Structure formats: C-alpha cells, structure tokens
Chain A
C-alpha cells in the first residue's frame, strides 16, 4: 500500500552537510546535548526564584522548604516517588511519540481513559486473586489509552491531520466522557461523583508493605512498574524491529517509506503505544493512590509528561530521572506553600520555562560555548 501520508506532505528541506564536522564543533554539539537539561533546569530555577522574589517571598526559604518536603525523610522521599510514578508513564508516552516524530499532546485524555478503565475493571474482577486481577486491569487500562489515541493516529496516518489538534480535542472529549461515567452510570453511592472503591485485590500495594526493610511511606509498586517500563522501552527502541522502524520514521519518513517501512502503520502503532503508556499512568494513580476514579484524578500529569520527555531528551532512562525531578517539585510544593507562603503553581512556571529552554537549544548552545571558551582561556593562562 503506498503511503499517501508521506507523498502528500512537504518534505523537510534536505540538509547539505558537505563536510565532516571538525572535532571542536562535534565536541561542542556533544557538550550541548549533555548540558542542555542541566542548564535548562538551572535557568528555570533562577526564573522561578525571581518570580518568588517578586511575589514577596524568599526564594532560598521557598526552595529549601521544597527540598525538605521532597527529601526530608523516608515519608517525604516516598511522596516524591509517589508523585514521580505517573510522570514516568506520561513521560514515556510523550517520549515514544517524539521518537516517531509525533507530538502526543493529549496524554492527559488517554490517562483519564486508562484511569476510568482501571476503576471499572478493578471492581469487575473482585473475585479474582491479586496475581490475576492486577495484570488484567493493567492490560485493559493500556488498551483504553491506546484506543483513545487510535482515532487521532488514524487521522494522522490517513489524511495527515495534525495530532496536536486531534489528541488535544480528544482530551476534552475524554474528560467529559469520563466525567459522565463518574457522575452517571458508574457513580458510587453518595453525593460525591466518584466510582466505587477498588477491592484490595485490585490495588497496587505500597512498596513498604511488600518489602519490610523499606521505611513506611506511600510510594507503591507502580513506581517499580514504571522503571520496568522505561527499561523495556529503551530495549525496544534500541534492539527491536518495532523500535528501529519507529525511529526511522521519526527521523525521516520519506527514507523510511522508500525502504519499505509503512509510515502509516508505524504512525498508528506508535501513537497507540504512546496512548497505552498514558493509560497506564491513569491506572497506577487509580490502583496505587486513590483506589477509585474521580474528576480531578490528574491536574495536568499528561502535560507535565511533555516537560519530562523533553528534559530527558527523549531518552527512556532519562525519563526516570526527569520524572523524579518533577515528582520532587510536586511533592515539595505543599511544604513550600506551608512554610514560605508561595503558591504551588510556581512549579508550573518552572515547568514551562524548562520546556521553553530545552526547545530553544540555541540558548544552551550559547551558554555552553561561553563555558568552553572560558575553559579554553583557563588552559592558556
């Protein structure tokens, strides 16, 4: 089948690398690649500090309160892992899309579909033992997330409708749809619109309940699941035909199509895998934290996933680190508000700045050049 999607769209202008880059340029490029995330975070924290200062609070006090809240003890560290868990999944979701050249901006909606599915299936399989029900719920939630990405994927593959608009629209549609289920057909008894509590056999237990040597905290097995997922994705991208084709399409769809890789099929596969991972983010939140579904399950976990993926430079293992950073920010935000009186929304600003900075690699390249130039000067003197 010819790939209509490929021939129809405008190809990238060809690059004309006439020469092998000289060594300094290559080294600088490497430095920039490695340094970008760190410099981005530094600039974001700096801007965050200015904002806090302008709001009349002390940045030092605010950030130390935040650190205290994120790493002050086993309970706090547990909170950081807890907050990082869904971000690993949404971060991986966005990462897999990026690797195929797709921007899944709608992870948020897929997350809600995964969440409601986990809440629903979790109640239905109450009779099964834990070892059976948990895998069933996880698979169903992943499928639900994938299903929610399927129509945008198909629209992208068949007619080239931009996935940024379609997945975004599906986020709104999904949220209203889920909101209806929660308030209507699958509403728990009582006035609050929420689903019934999951039976214990459908929950993800806390790490400290499974491993007795871990101090009590709220982090649950979903975190370990996230690490497994990240490792699995790293291997898939590196060592499987699926990952190879996804990367080929992401780098150069025309060349991929010429070599017999179907761009449409790869697009659909990748966006659905991305959706599945976002669905899992919803599932771990429902199974590990709230044990039921409600309207406010996520306040932008899907969007933070974009920041996580970019900060990780779309490296699955980097996603774990980036998710931990954002998990820490999120876990510490409450303490920061309590002790320094700073609105936790400041972390959204930091997040926005990080995305901006990673996107604008030129700023970092400029900073890196300054640093290497200074180093060179030091060598001379």
Chain B
C-alpha cells in the first residue's frame, strides 16, 4: 500500500446544508452491564446517504432501533425536521415517515408479498374486510415506480434473500417513508445484488429520501456513502466523507488500533485426500432438492472454501457430511472409509469436527456451564466417562486447560455458556472441536457476528489446523473470508458446484457471477468442478 495514501482522516463534522431531516442528540442507552450508546449524536439530511460504520457490538443497531422506537433511550432526544419528537414505539416512527429494514427481515414467511407489505396498514372495505385488489394494485404501482420488481402474489418463503429485501424496502415505501434505515443490508447479498441495491438506494435518495445504512464493510462505505459516521464501543469516534478518508484509516477509527487486513499464509502443502464427497444428493426440510450431485475432495493441509448465496445447499452439505442429514444418493468417504450412513456420533468419533453456523442453536448448550460444554460430544469417551459414569474431576481438568489454551475469558468455569460474549462462546466451541484433534474440520460461518479481535483469533486457529496437515471445509457468506483463507474455492449455486478456483486466482466479482448462476446461463461451466 503506497504510503502517500495513508493520511489521517479529516474527522471534522460535515458541513450541513439546512435543517437535518432526522437528528439524534445525545442518545444514551444502557443494557445490563454494557453501555451500548454513550451520548451519541447523528444528523441525517434529505437526499444523502449516511453510512453508520462500526464493528459488531459498536452500538449502531442499538442507535437505529432507538430511532425506530424499538428501544427506549435512557437519555437524549430525537428531532425530525428540527422539531423534538417522541418515538416510543414503531408506530410513532412510521407516523413520522421513518422506515427501517432490519438485518433479520421482519417478514411473515407463509404470507404473500402483498400481505406483508400492507400488514398493519391494510386497505379495507366496510367492517375490516381486506380489500385485496386495492392492496395488490398499490404494490404493483409502487414496485413499478421505484423499479423494485417483485411478484405481488408470491409467498415470502419462496423468494430469494435479495427479493425479500426488496419487499422490505417496498414495505417502508408503502408507508411513505422519507427516512430509510437499512441494517447491514449487504450481509447476505452477492456482489451483483449489492450493486443493484445501491442503484436503488441512489434512486431513492434522488427522490429526496434520506438513507441510513448500518454496516461494517469498509469498501462499500467508500463507494456509496455521502457521509460516514464511525462508531466504536458505543460512541461516535468521527464523522467524515469518502473523499476525506481512506480504508486503512477508517479501519483504524473503527477498531481503535491498526488492523491487518490480510491474513498471512504459508504456501499450501497438500497430502492425501482426507474427505471425498461424490455425487451427493440431499433433500432439505421441505423435501425439496437441496444438493443435486455435489462432488469434491479435501486433501490434508488445505482449506477448501465454499462460497455462495445463503440457501444454495451449503447448510445441507454440512449437515450431510456431519451425518445430521441422510443423503438420497452419493457417498462421503473419510480417509478411505465410507461414512455416508454414519450418524453424527460416529462421524465425530472418526475424526470430523464441526464448528456449526449457529453457536446458540447448534454449537453450545447455553444452559450448560463451560465445563459441561467442553466435553459435549466427547462425553462418552475415556477419560471423561467409564461404563456410563462421568469422571467429573477429569472433565474439569480438561476444561480448565482448554479454556486457558483458547483464551476463553470467563469469571468462572462454572458459569453458564449463555453468559459469555459471542467471541468467547465461539472460542469455547473451537476449544472443544479443535481440542479433540480432528483430521477434518468443517467450519460454517465461523466468524459470524464476531468483532475483529475474535475474527483474527478464529482465522489463526483455522490456518493452524491446515498447517498441521488437517483438511478444512470452510463455508462462509463472507467472500472476503473465503478469499483470504481458502486454498481452493468452490462456488455453490442451486445445489451444485458451479465453479472451482485456486485460492488467490479469482476476484470477488468473478465469484459473484457464479454465485448467481450467471456463468451457467452464459452456457460455460456447468458442474465444471466435479472432476
């Protein structure tokens, strides 16, 4: 990186023109044990895109939830058009024409697009009977006006994530929002969808809306924001614009120290094939085809990354490998032994460890203490148990040493795992799964929701496994993570491997094209990676 670009940010407040459409003044919000917002002030003007930039846990979402009436602030005031207003519930925000698209969509899955859009503000004829044709035509009209194409009669559960996001935006436009808040809108989108989203945002801003985008992605901020508000640990640490700042200094502002943006990696040294998946076909919960013939192999000493938009079969692939979901066809072989029909217990015992994508639902028993969580899955083995009786002393010794080795910060090993922070919970999962000394590690979304420090820790540990000659299957929605860690990258699309690349030989844009099946439509490489 050329040094002349590394200048300090100009963090002087951006000169405003006219009255801000939305102003948050001195917002403080406290949760038990943490100060989520500490005297935060932000101004938003019509026709501008404001990026609220910060790490996970910096307090961005809290702030916007206050603005939307989902959380009551402990102190501070909110002004709309220069007038102090009281927003104690979302209804108030809607009435003030504030709209919010949450990170986890607030859509009712079995209902249709139209029903979701009008919910809460339904056109009715006499006696509360829904006027469905009026609702439908209003939706069609809105989607035409803003270029947000979507089928008004489709059920939400049949839509892609990108489509669902359009529905969310239409929901706010239906309520005639002037201020649109988008919470981490790009987290689940492909690079192409991200570009489309920003086109839409640009159009809305040109129509006179103000848009606030909550994000932790530096590149995006640089490309779309008019103003950047950086938050760290509940405070605003600076306000700037893309023109006044570069990525590295933004990162420093965001994290509070220098950040190594790229992972140091030794050259790959692969050995024998450890895990071989061939012709795998799997059904999902709704009995639809989730995997339609997936084949690949993982060698000792390499990280194979799976890129793809959420819901293209990654989850089912991981579950099939771990024995949590029985394949319809195909085989899974571990070091020459067929494990296709093994149950999770046997799979684990044969040397496959698993960092599940959702540490709360699958990774930990939150009500168990740290000690009991440490042996989950190993509890049947010696020395932890003999003849069905647990050796509590041995378990406790092991737990103490692993908790120390993996730097799990806790006041006591006997507190419930629920009381740990997200980063420490993930370290606990790693302590258990890696402490078992597996041959193959299956890691799904291993850094989701973590702060930079924890992300670095997880990445280091995954690389250490690879360097120790283990095979790693890495599934992640974060393209950056896939690109920086993987030795080989497979792109999944609609239950197939749409493309395969050597690590470092591909750009995000190329991956993006394959993630949406673009290349296949162009007639090039269907299942090209199956060899």
A255 to B388, CA, bound (A): 21
**Contact across chains for A255 and B363 when beta carbons are under 8 A apart:** yes
Task: Collect the chain B residues with CB atoms within 8 Å of residue A20's CB.
Answer: 33, 411, 419-421
A232 and B385 alpha carbons, distance in the complex (Å) = 18
Chain B residues positioned under 8 Å from A255 (CB to CB): 361-365, 376
Interface centre among A15, A252, A259, by most B CB within 10 Å?
Answer: A259
Q: Judge whether B163 is part of the interface by a CB distance below 8 angstroms.
A: no
Contact across chains for B421 and A251 when beta carbons are under 8 A apart: no
Given contacts A2-B324, A2-B325, contact A248 B32 (CB under 8 A): no
8 A Cβ contacts from B480-524 to A: none
Distance, CA A306 to CA B452, complexed state (A)? 48
B172 at the interface (CB under 8 A from A): no
**Total inter-chain residue pairs, C-beta < 8 Å:** 116
Known: A19-B31, A239-B392. A251 touches B366 (CB 8 A): yes
Bound Cα distance A150, B322 (Å): 29
Whether B345 pairs with A258 at a CB distance below 8 angstroms is no
Beta-carbon contact of B32 and A260 below 8 Å: no
Q: Which of B57, B349, B356 contacts A258 (CB 8 A)?
A: B356
**Assuming the A-B contacts A241-B390, A260-B348, are A248 and B419 also in contact, with contact meaning beta carbons closer than 8 angstroms in the complex?**
no
Q: Which residues of A contact B31 (CB under 8 A)?
A: 18-19
Write out the residue numbers on chain B whose beta carbons fall within 8 Å of the beta carbon of A254: 361-362
Given A3-B324, A8-B285; A260-B345 close (CB under 8 Å): yes
Residue of A nearest to B391 (CB): A239
Q: Mark B364-377, 1 if CB is under 8 A from A, else 0.
A: 11111000100011
Interface residue? B232 (CB, 8 A): no
Contact count band on A: 35 or more
User: Quick check: is B272 within 8 A (CB to CB) of the other chain?
Assistant: no
* Chain A hits for B319, CB < 8 A: 7
Check A261/B345 contact, CB under 8 A, given A240-B388, A240-B389: yes
Question: What is the bound-complex CA distance between A255 and B285, given in angstroms?
Answer: 17
375-434 of chain B: CB within 8 A of chain A? 376-377, 379-380, 385, 388-390, 392, 411, 418-422
Would A2 and B323 count as touching, CB distance under 8 A? yes
Q: How far is the CA of A11 from the CA of B390 in the complex (A)?
A: 29
Closest A residue to B36 using CB positions = A18
From 1 to 33 in chain A, residues with beta carbon under 8 angstroms from any chain B beta carbon are 1-3, 7-8, 11-12, 14-22, 25
A367 at the interface (CB under 8 A from B): no
Nearest B residue (CB) for A251: B367
Given A18-B34, A251-B367, decide whether A262 and B343 contact each other with a Cβ distance below 8 A: yes
- Are A7's CB and B325's CB within 8 A? yes
Contact indicator A239/B344 (Cβ below 8 Å): no
A residues adjacent to B (C-beta < 8 A): 1-3, 7-8, 11-12, 14-22, 25, 239-242, 244-245, 247-248, 251-252, 254-262
Residues of chain B having any CB pair with chain A under 8 Å: 31-34, 57, 285, 319, 322-326, 343-349, 354, 356, 358, 360-368, 372, 376-377, 379-380, 385, 388-390, 392, 411, 418-422
